[in-house]
């Protein structure tokens, strides 16, 4: 059975030492009491819950899956008890506005806990995760009456939330949505249609489920400009705000899936169900993007979480498993063979996983700090700058983290050899669970298109310009840091390559839109690798300053892992650059009939 230990020391390194988040966040209005001791205590307590109560349910949830009978869904054994412990501890409400019962803590803390939870049990994490996104959308766009009626119990966790977008004919292209919303005399709406792939659409964890549904009003414009957003509860609350009359929404089936089997993925049927408009008419997709963007970041964190737990188990196995002798002679002559860890290719797989994980963790927490800055900084210009950085990096986190998460869970499975293919070791589950993150909340190809078609061009290219200046400023600050120079050189080359390629791509894409589509996935990976390299450079700089202190081993391994990233993983950008510059003709010239 696989095990998991939360990487608290590394999270503390990123939060306290790398990003100096203590000072940054405590300077924001409302966060003055977010001390280092408080953050450490939250991480440690969260780790206990995730390691001791939620992680042991992971394999069981995969084997049992969710059960569907007579329109009702039963989650795997132990999920309900673990969920109750989760909400009783207030873990889902940490970063929510105290007006609705939340604790008002920084989003950054929630991000770090999200990584731990997805490592422990990604299926379980989806239930509270979707609720947090729904809370954000309702709080941002609903009227005061809806907020007062629904948010307190959603924040408490006794009511959950879902996101109902997809239909059988409308996946990525939400302009094809057919679900209808008919106005009623009382100001509510009758919602009719079928939604598929609805995570947590039916379950036995909460007493009510609040669905956020995209639908069309009569006479609405075609395409995405005619979509509105509606709140549709499973049970309509009574005057005391308790679940009362059953609404006309039902679960028709649950999907049989490759992975995340402990998460119920539902077909939901709305048969003139009572719903309530959120935001302006025909602006539903814009309102839903509040939730979608939050979920895209959360899905990226899933890749990191699964990469971390896979790495931990692969390292433990590589230390214990005896196979063959080291190339340079026996490393353990007293044993029948040497541990797997002596072999270079095993180390390649482990270091690849570790370097991606630790770089991604730093990028994730940096992004979360910027989310908090975008919401709380007293200077409007600073809020706008932070918001630009978050907008730019969101598709990169979603796509790259989930891509590398799938790649590295497979690498860690490979460390186990044949045992990695056997379910009792847990590695094959990590691979299966990781696969969906590349698909849902907008496929990774769609994320790449969002980056190259939208984020590079909006506001006359302001978003990438701001980001590139930030990286260039760091280079200038470190020009005289002599110990850092061997690591600084490859990063400078990477940044120059990315800036040149961005200029070339925006020019080419303005003339031929297919150039952007052909380049998108490779360009996003170059962007992600360069961003991770920036974080690794910063981590190495901190480690170099502290390598002679009390934690010699920790800082030495940080420097060595960063050197591996810059020397073995970052050079991918050169081949990817050549692929992007090969243009779109290699893809588009083949006739459709020749496929």
Rg (CA), the chain: 24
* Structural contact between residues 83 and 2, judged by C-beta atoms closer than 8 angstroms: no
| Number of C-beta neighbours around residue 544 at 10 A | 18
Structure tokens at 518: 């052909």
Measured over the CA atoms of residue 105, residue 109, residue 114 and residue 119, the dihedral's sign is negative
Q: Which residue of the set 441, 493, 507, 551 is catalytic? A: 441
Check residue 187 and give left, alpha or beta (phi > 0: left; psi -120 to 50: alpha).
left
DSSP 286-340: HHHHHHHHHHHHHHHHHHHHHHHHHHHHHHHHHHH-B-S--TTS-S-TTSSS-BG
* Structural contact between residues 217 and 241, judged by C-beta atoms closer than 8 angstroms: no
* Structural contact between residues 41 and 12, judged by C-beta atoms closer than 8 angstroms: no
> Is-catalytic flag, 441?
yes
Which one, of 294, 383, 312, 254, lies nearest residue 95 by Cα? Answer: 294
CA 433 to chain centre: 14
| Percent helix, percent strand, percent coil in the chain, to nearest 5 | 65, 10, 25
Between CA 417 and CA 150 the distance in angstroms is 50
Per DSSP, 569 falls in state: I
Instruction: For tokens 């995730």, name the residue.
Output: 50
* Structural contact between residues 34 and 104, judged by C-beta atoms closer than 8 angstroms: no
Instruction: For tokens 């390649």, name the residue.
Output: 348
Between CA 433 and CA 99 the distance in angstroms is 36
Q: Kindly list the catalytic residues.
A: 441
């Amino acid at each position: 059975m696989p095990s998991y230990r939360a990487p608290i020391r590394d999270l503390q390194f990123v939060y306290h030492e790398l990003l100096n988040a203590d000072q940054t966040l405590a300077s924001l209005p409302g966060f003055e009491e977010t001390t280092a001791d408080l953050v450490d205590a939250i991480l440690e307590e969260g780790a206990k819950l995730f390691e001791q109560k939620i992680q042991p349910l992971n394999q069981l949830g995969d084997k049992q899956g969710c059960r569907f009978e007579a329109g009702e869904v039963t989650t795997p054994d132990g999920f309900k008890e673990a969920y109750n412990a989760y909400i009783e501890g207030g873990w889902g409400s940490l970063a929510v506005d105290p007006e609705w019962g939340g604790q008002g803590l920084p989003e950054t803390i929630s991000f770090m806990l999200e990584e731990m939870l997805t490592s422990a049990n990604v299926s379980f994490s989806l239930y509270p995760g979707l609720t947090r996104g729904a809370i954000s959308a309702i709080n941002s766009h609903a009227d005061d009456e809806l907020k007062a009626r629904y948010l307190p119990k959603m924040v408490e966790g006794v009511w959950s939330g879902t996101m109902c977008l997809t239909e059988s004919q409308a996946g990525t292209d939400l302009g094809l949505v057919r679900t209808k919303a008919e106005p009623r005399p009382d100001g509510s709406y009758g919602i009719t249609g079928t939604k598929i792939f609805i995570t947590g659409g039916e379950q036995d964890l909460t007493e009510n489920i609040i669905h956020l549904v995209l639908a069309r009003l009569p006479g609405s414009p075609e395409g995405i400009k005619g979509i509105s957003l509606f709140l549709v509860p499973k049970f309509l609350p009574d005057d005391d705000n308790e679940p009362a009359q059953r609404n006309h929404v039902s679960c028709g089936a649950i999907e049989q899936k490759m992975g995340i089997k402990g998460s119920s993925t539902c077909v939901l049927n709305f048969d003139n169900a009572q719903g309530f408009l959120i935001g302006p008419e025909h602006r539903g997709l814009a309102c839903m993007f509040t939730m979608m963007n939050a979920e895209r970041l959360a899905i990226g964190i899933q890749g990191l979480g699964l990469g971390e737990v896979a790495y931990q188990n692969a390292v433990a196995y590589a230390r214990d498993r005896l196979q063959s002798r080291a190339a340079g002679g026996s490393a353990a002559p007293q044993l029948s063979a040497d541990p797997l860890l002596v072999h270079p290719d095993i180390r390649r797989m482990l270091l690849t996983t570790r370097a991606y994980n630790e770089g991604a963790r730093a990028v994730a927490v940096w992004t979360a700090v910027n989310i908090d800055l975008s919401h709380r900084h007293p200077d409007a210009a600073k809020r706008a700058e932070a918001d630009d950085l978050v907008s730019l990096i969101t598709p990169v986190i979603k796509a790259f983290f989930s891509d590398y998460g799938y790649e590295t869970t497979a690498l860690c499975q490979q460390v186990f050899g044949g045992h990695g293919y056997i379910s009792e070791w847990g590695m094959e589950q990590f691979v299966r669970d990781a696969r969906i993150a590349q698909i849902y909340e907008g496929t990774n190809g769609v994320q790449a298109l969002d980056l190259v078609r939208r984020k590079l061009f909006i506001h006359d290219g302001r978003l990438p310009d701001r980001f590139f200046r930030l990286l260039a400023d760091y280079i200038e600050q470190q020009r005289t840091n002599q110990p850092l120079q061997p690591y600084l050189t490859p990063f400078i080359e990477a940044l120059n390559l990315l800036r040149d390629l961005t200029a070339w791509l925006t020019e080419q894409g303005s003339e031929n839109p297919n150039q952007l589509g052909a380049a998108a996935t490779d360009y996003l990976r170059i962007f992600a690798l360069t961003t991770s390299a920036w974080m690794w450079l910063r981590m190495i700089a901190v480690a170099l300053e502290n390598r002679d202190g009390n934690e010699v081993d920790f800082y030495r391994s940080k420097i060595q892992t960063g050197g591996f990233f810059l020397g073995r993983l970052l050079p991918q950008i050169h081949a990817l650059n050549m692929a992007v510059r090969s243009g779109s003709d290699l893809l588009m010239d083949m006739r459709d009939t020749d496929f």
